[in-house]
Structure 1
Amino acid sequence: MLIDRPWMRRAKNLTYFCNSKLHCTLMASTFSSATIAHRYNTVTFCNTFLKKSLIPTNSLLRFHSRTLRQQISVKTVSFKIHCISSKNSSQVQSFPATNDVPFVSYFSIFSQFGIKRLESAIAVLLIFIQISSPLPFNNLESDESFISPANAVLYSPDTKVPRTGELALRKAIPANPSMKAIQDSLEEISYLLRIPQRKPYGTMEGNVKKAIKIAKDEKESIFNSMPTDLKEKGSALYTSLLEGKGGLQSLLNSIKEKDPDRVSVGLASSLDTIAELELLQAPGLSFLLPGQYSKYPRLAGRGTVEFTVEKGDGSTFSQVAGAEPKNKPQFRFDLLLPVVIDGYSAPLTAGNFAKLVLGGAYDGVKLNTVNQAILSANEEKSNGYSIPLELMPSGQFEPLYKSKLSIQDGQLPVLPLSVYGAIAMAHSDISEEDSSPFQFFFYLYDKRNAGLGGLSFDEGQFSVLGYTTVGRDVLPQIKTGDIIRSAKLVEGQDRLILPTEY
Structure 2
Amino acid sequence: MASIISCNLISPRIPNNGIRFATTQNNNSWLTKRFVPKCSKNANPCQKLKECAISIALAVGLITGMPSYADAYVNLNSYNWALPDLSVLISGPPIKDPGALLRYALPIDNKAVREVQKPLEDITESLKIAGVKALDSVERNVRQASRALKQGKSLIVSGLAESKKEHGLELLDKLEAGMDELQQIVEDKKREEVAPKQKELLNYVGGVEEDMVDGFPYEVPEEYQSMPLLKGRATVDMKVKVKDNPNVDECVFRIVLDGYNAPVTAGNFVDLVERHFYDGMEIQRADGFVVQTGDPEGPAEGFIDPSTEKTRTIPLEIMVKGEKAPVYGETLEDLGLYKAQTKLPFNAFGTMAMARDEFENNSGSSQVFWLLKESELTPSNANILDGRYAVFGYVTQNEDFLADLKVGDVIESIQVVSGLDNLVNPSYKIAG
Question: What band does the TM-score fall into relative to the shorter chain?
Answer: 0.5 to 0.7
Matched, 1:489 2:424: no
Q: Is the 8 A contact 2:237 2:254 kept in 1?
A: yes
Rounded to whole Å, the distance in 2 between the matches of 1:352 and 1:363 is 16
Q: Larger Cα Rg: Structure 1 or Structure 2?
A: 1
CA distance in 1, matches of 2:378, 2:259: 30
Alignment match, 1:378: 295
Q: Kindly indicate whether the alpha-carbon contact (under 8 Å) linking 1:428 and 1:437 is maintained by their aligned counterparts in 2.
A: no
Contact residue 271 and residue 426 of structure 2 kept, 8 A: no
Q: Deviations over 1:256-308 (max 9, x none)?
A: 78887665554333222111222222263222222332222211111122222
Quote the sequence identity (%).
28
1:470-490 Cα shifts (integer Å, max 9, x gaps): 222322232112222322222
In structure 1, what is the Cα distance between the partners aligned to 2:143 and 2:221?
A: 42
2:198 matched to which residue of 1? 267
2:228 alignment partner in structure 1 = 297
1:35-86: CA deviation from partner (whole Å, max 9, x where unpaired): xxxx9xxxxxxxxxxxxxxxxxxxxxxxxxxxxxxxxxxxxxxxxxxxxxxx
1:186/1:271 contact within 8 Å kept: yes
Alignment partner for residue 370 of structure 2, among 442, 465, 469?
442
- The residue number in structure 2 matching 1:168 is 101
Determine which structure has the larger strand proportion and give its number: 1
Counterpart-to-counterpart distance in 1, 2:330 and 2:367: 19
Amino acid at match of 2:269: F
| Residues 1:286 and 2:217 aligned together | yes
Instruction: Tell me the residue number matched to 2:348.
Output: 419
Q: Which runs of 5+ in 2 are unaligned?
A: 1-55, 57-80, 305-309
- Show the counterpart of 1:233: 167
Q: Is the 8 A contact 2:128 2:134 kept in 1?
A: no
Q: Is 1:150 paired with 2:85? A: yes
For 1:180, the equivalent position in structure 2 comes to: 114
TM-score calculated relative to the size of structure 2: 0.65
- Out of 291, 307, 329, the position equivalent to 1:402 is 329
**1:390 is the counterpart of 2:339:** no
Contact 1:176 1:222 in 2 (8 A): no
- Listed one character per residue, the Cα deviations across residues 354-409 of structure 1 (whole Å, up to 9, x for unaligned) are 01111122123222224411211422324344211112223433222223235994
Alignment partners' CA distance in 1, 2:279 and 2:422? 22
Counterparts in 2 of 1:217 and 1:473: CA distance versus 1, 3 Å: closer
Change (3 A) 1:336 1:213: closer
State whether residues 161 and 416 of structure 1, in contact with CA within 8 Å, keep that contact through their aligned partners in structure 2.
no
Aligned residue identity for 1:410: K
Matches for 1:117-266 after TM superposition, within 5 Å: 150=85, 153=88, 155-156=89-90, 158-175=91-108, 177=110, 178-191=112-125, 208-226=142-160, 230-244=164-178, 247=179, 249-252=180-183, 264-266=195-197
Task: Name 1:351's counterpart in structure 2.
Answer: 267
Amino acid at match of 2:283: L
Whole-Å Cα distance in 2 between the matches of residues 385 and 147 of structure 1?
A: 34
Separation in structure 1 between the aligned mates of residue 204 and residue 229 of structure 2, nearest angstrom: 27
Distance 1:197 1:363 in 2: 45
Of 229-238 and 260-269, more deviation after overlay is shown by 260-269
The 3-state SS of whatever aligns with 1:405 is coil
- Compute the TM-score of the two structures, normalised by the length of structure 1: 0.57
Instruction: Indicate the residue corresponding to 1:328 in structure 2.
Output: none
**C-alpha spacing 1:424/1:254, structure 2 compared with 1 (3 Å):** same
CA 1:309–1:209 in 2, change beyond 3 Å: closer, same or farther? closer
RMSD (Å), alpha carbons: 3.8
Q: Secondary structure at the match of 1:469?
A: strand
The answer to whether the 8 Å contact 1:422/1:443 transfers is yes
Partner of 1:445, secondary structure, is coil
> For 2:237, what is the secondary structure of its paired residue?
strand
Going from structure 1 to structure 2, the CA distance change for 1:265 and 1:489 (only over 3 Å counts) comes to closer
- Which residue is 1:43 aligned to? none
The residue correspondences of 1:285-364 to structure 2 (distance < 5 A) are 285-311=216-242, 315=243, 319-320=247-248, 332=249, 334-364=250-280
Q: 1:313-337 CA distances to partner (integer Å, 9 max, x unpaired)?
A: xx455555xxxxxxxxxxx3x4322
**Pairwise CA distance, 1:438:** 1.0
Aligned partners of 1:149, 1:441: CA distance in 2, in Å? 26
Does the 8 Å CA contact 1:369/1:375 hold for their aligned counterparts? yes
Distance 1:344 1:499 in 2: 17
Q: Distance in 2 between matches of 1:408 and 1:397?
A: 16
| Contact 2:356–2:363 under 8 Å retained in 1 | yes
Partner deviation per Cα, 1:90-126 (whole Å, 9 max, x = no partner): xxxxxxxxxxxxxxxxxxxxxxxxxxxxxxxxxxxxx
Distance in 2, Cα, partners of 1:470 & 1:231:
28
Alignment of 1:457 with 2:392, yes or no, is no
Amino acid in the other structure paired with 2:346: L
Q: Indicate if the aligned counterparts of 1:151 and 1:408 stay in contact, CA closer than 8 A.
A: no
Q: CA separation in 2, counterparts of 1:335 and 1:226?
A: 36
Q: Following the alignment from structure 1 to structure 2, what is the Cα–Cα distance between the partners of residues 208 and 337?
A: 30
C-alpha distance in structure 1 between counterparts of 2:374 and 2:136, whole Å: 34
Cα distance change on mapping 1:233 and 1:200 into 2, 3 Å = same
